Structure 1
Amino acid sequence: MQQPGIAADASSQQQPQQQQQVAAIEQVLHNYIEGTSYNNRPQITKAFHPAADLLLDKEGQAFNKVPVTDYLNMFKLADHGKYNGRIGEILQIDVSGNLATAKVEILIPSRQTRFIDVFLLKYVANQWQIITKAATKEASIQNGVRVLFILSSAHFHGNSTLPAGVSFPEIVHAYQTFKKAGYTVEFVSPKGGAVPLSYINTSDPLHKMYLYDSDLMFALKHTKQATQLQAKDYRAVHYVGGSNAMYGVADNAEISRLVMEIYEQHQGIISAVCHGTAGIVHLKTKDGKYLVDGKRISGYPEDFENKSADYFKQFPFLIKQTIESRNGSFHVGKQSEAYIEVDGRIITGQNYKSSALVAEAIIKQLQAETANN
């Protein structure tokens, strides 16, 4: 019988290889997305195998097979480098040996149009290339505006063996609110990759729907690191709770830098819910003041915690105490009810029941900003 330790070692060796393959395929897809968005034929060419075929829509034909050379000619040389309004997002990648499938969303907000591109890729001559592409088209209200969810990578409370995770209800309630309003949600974590999830209830219809949503699960399995992202791409950030939010987020310099650049240089919104408020306690503005100084803030206070529990003893700091020590004004409602605070471009909520309300407050501000421009 095989020893458990051997199986674990084999798995740990396979995981980095899988991540490397996914990263390589992501680069191919980025060449496709950026190349087609900026009419850049050479960049598009990098993504496709020379013998690739595309199945494109054509009125009166079930299948319109187009060679990649003809597809490239659709992007005029005179328009090279000009942005054409396409916004791309990788939704899924699945690798099986030397083959892979991928799904990409292409939005054209000016036309209220959404394409879903489905690709077959093959590892040929030491590189991944697209060998087939098909697409479907639909009307869409999606506007291409991105909101960045910030999650913790911590699987345990501090240095203990007590499990911890990101609050799944806090993710899905906010996620659905943003998606229904036409916004794109992306995810970042200190370590990148898969994050631990907690408080999943498959008897809850919303939990069940999103637990089996392959696009969301791919995103949560492949969260980005802050160094991979650019502040200009986001209009708001949202720190998600779960008890693991107490660890590794507030003291992550790269996440903090990205968030404050979004807030100060791009006039973005900073939001947090429940234990996610822990992520903002150390943030400082460019003049050296704490972000929470003089602000009305909500979150999950230590007053609501079981202070005799082992998990609580692992907390590196206390949310309410730390915010108040930095001249923040901390506010909550009844423990079992939703409650949020809106103080300019800082929006915070006290518990998971507040997640949708925080998202709605963000959307209200973003829509007002759009209407005023």
Structure 2
Amino acid sequence: MKVNQNPVPEIDEIRKNNTSGLMLSSGYGGGTANIEYGVETSWDLQLFDPSMTTPFTQVVMKSNYNSSVVDLFKRKNAIHPFLGTFYQRREVYKRFGFQTFRTTDGKDKNEKLKYQKKIQKSDLVGDNDAYKNVLWQLNKERRGQFINLATMQNHLPFTDKYNEYPFEAFGQAVANPERKEQVKHYMQGIALTSKYTKDFLDQLDQYQRPITVVWYGDHLPGIYDGDNMNDYYVPLHETDYFIYSNKYARSNKYARNHGDSIGKQTDHVQVVSPNSFTALALKQMNQKVSPFYAMMTQVTEQLPAQSRGNNDTSDGLLVDKQNKVLKEKNLTKKQKELLNDYRLVQYDNTTGKHYLKNMHFMK
């Protein structure tokens, strides 16, 4: 597929100047909460049995212990400019330890979404207002906090939502007129996201406190066509991500008080799994880490990105930093040992007896 102009120039510029690359997603056309689960817990969906389709409901809701990045913070708040009932998010987030979860159907003071203006002709809250909710939460809580935002602007259906459509697409993937129209509408949506994201980061640069953002697309929309789509399984499961530290976090003033920040990372970041983001962010912030996140740093730097493969078996998909597909049998002995260690840790925490929790391995 070719397009007549780049719909996301601002995001491309942000990615060029910050830690960034491609995220190997487990979803295509859906599965947002599954990618969320991988990001928040650092667990790999590929290591679960294929019958595990929705870990929010099949793991989190059935366990009294769910370790995640949320555990690293005293204050943690979640924002979702949509209904809180999808994927049982309201109950799941409570189990993760979020103190507030603000949605469009929120009832009390900890659940009411401050800004929820719909974008142009769409029935979904725009990313500009989604970001305004994050800024509101930052201003409400002056101390350190973790904020989780899951946006909705670019969710399906991809119909006539906007005031203008300057983008055109050509090629086999959009040979069907209906597909072509959907892609055109989708491109306008991400073009707006690109502008709103730059504005959001510019505003974060005004804060005189360190702020680090992990930003990623959860999955691509299922709006492409063609007889040989299976040949493009990997690119159909790759989305953009970046990790951005605001101006204060990069300043000499902050470095004098807290130690030098790593800043932009260039090694081991070209293709990553969702479970790598916390380790990458902690490294960028130059934070002291637990044994678990030390292991996750090794997983991120030494193992290929992992996801579920297109045969829906336990084989999985391994993609290296050069974006080449590998087989597990081709890993080095050291890589196989690390992968086995990671599997054991995930098993203990999700299915086993939580030995590592009692050993203070996780945090």
Which TM-score bucket, shorter chain as reference?
Answer: under 0.3
Using CA pairs under 8 Å that are at least 6 residues apart, name the structure with larger relative contact order, 1 or 2.
2
Question: What TM-score comes out, normalization by structure 1 length?
Answer: 0.26
